[in-house]
């Protein structure tokens, strides 16, 4: 989640946007920040979100056993890049159990969606610190995009089983663009809310 400034900025904006919608509609808002620890925030969400850091070393895949006290019949919105290996079922089940609606929003930078061909590079996992040296040629990029598509298809399938929705957001686009072209079509926003983004 800390792979680029656009990604961090857009994630903060998305969370703040949902927080502000809840405040405007006088709807209870509960924020969970999942990283090395799990923080449940019931008040002053806007202040905490504006200062939110992306320094955790534990991925969201470890969250299912740590998410306790999700409000029954609530709308759950999960914001992550979901760029971690493993089965989607435990996370989807933990987030969706007892809820009224479930939305997974995948935030990816342009370089993660469509990497450019380049010479040798060292890629470092910001969570584990593991490094990989490779050449980003067309074949390598094609393999990566194939695995990414299969990974996303797995999440979409599991979310459909739970009546949920999976949407990819390109964080190089503005919040206004994402609201109108992603959040509105997936049913997360009404036209009034999408039109109110500034």
The enclosing domain of 40 has a CATH number of 3.40.50
Domain that holds residue 90: 5-114+155-195
> What is the pTM assigned to this prediction?
0.86
The verdict on residue 160 lying in a domain is yes
Sheet holding 101-108, edge to edge: 75-80, 101-108, 165-170
pLDDT of residue 19: 86
Task: Please give the tally of structural domains in the chain.
Answer: 1
Per-residue pLDDT at 100:
94
pLDDT of residue 34: 81
* Three-class SS of the chain: CCCCHHHHHHHHHHHHHHHHHHHHCCCCCCEEEECCCEEEECCCHHHHHHCCCCCCCCCHHHCHHHCCCCCCCCEEEEEECCCCCCCCHHHHHHHHCCCCEEEEEEEECHHHHCCCCCCEEEEECCCCCCEEEEECCHHHHHHHHHHHHHHHHHHHHHHHHCCCEEEEEECCCCHHHHHHHHHCCCCCCCHHHHHCCC
**Closest among 103, 113, 104 to 170, alpha carbons compared:** 113
- Within a domain: residue 179? yes
Backbone angles phi, psi at 122, to 5 degrees: -110, 120
Q: Is 121 a member of any domain?
A: no
Residue 124 maps to a domain: no
Residues in the chain with pLDDT values less than 70? 1-5, 44-45, 49, 54-59, 64-68, 126-128, 192-198
Domain assignment of residue 131, yes or no: no
Asked, for residue 123, whether it belongs to a domain, the answer is no
Q: Is residue 42 part of a domain?
A: yes
Task: Tell me whether residue 104 is in a domain.
Answer: yes
């Amino acid at each position: 989640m800390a792979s680029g400034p656009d990604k961090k900025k857009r994630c903060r904006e998305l969370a703040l946007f949902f927080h502000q919608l809840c405040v405007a509609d006088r709807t209870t808002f509960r924020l969970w920040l999942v990283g090395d620890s799990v923080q449940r925030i019931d008040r002053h969400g806007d202040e905490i979100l504006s200062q939110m850091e992306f320094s955790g070393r534990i991925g969201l895949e470890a969250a299912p056993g740590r998410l306790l006290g999700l409000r029954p019949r609530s709308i759950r919105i999960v914001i992550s890049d979901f760029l971690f290996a493993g089965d989607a079922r435990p996370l989807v089940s933990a987030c969706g159990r007892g809820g009224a609606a479930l939305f997974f929003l995948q935030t990816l930078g342009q370089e993660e969606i469509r990497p450019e061909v380049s010479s040798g590079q060292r890629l470092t996992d910001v969570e584990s610190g593991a490094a990989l040296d490779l050449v980003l040629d067309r074949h390598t990029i094609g393999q990566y995009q194939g695995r990414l598509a299969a990974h996303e298809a797995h999440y979409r399938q599991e979310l459909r089983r739970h009546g949920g929705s999976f949407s990819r957001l390109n964080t190089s686009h503005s919040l206004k663009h994402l609201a109108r072209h992603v959040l509105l079509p997936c049913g997360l926003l009404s036209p009034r809310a999408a039109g109110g983004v500034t």
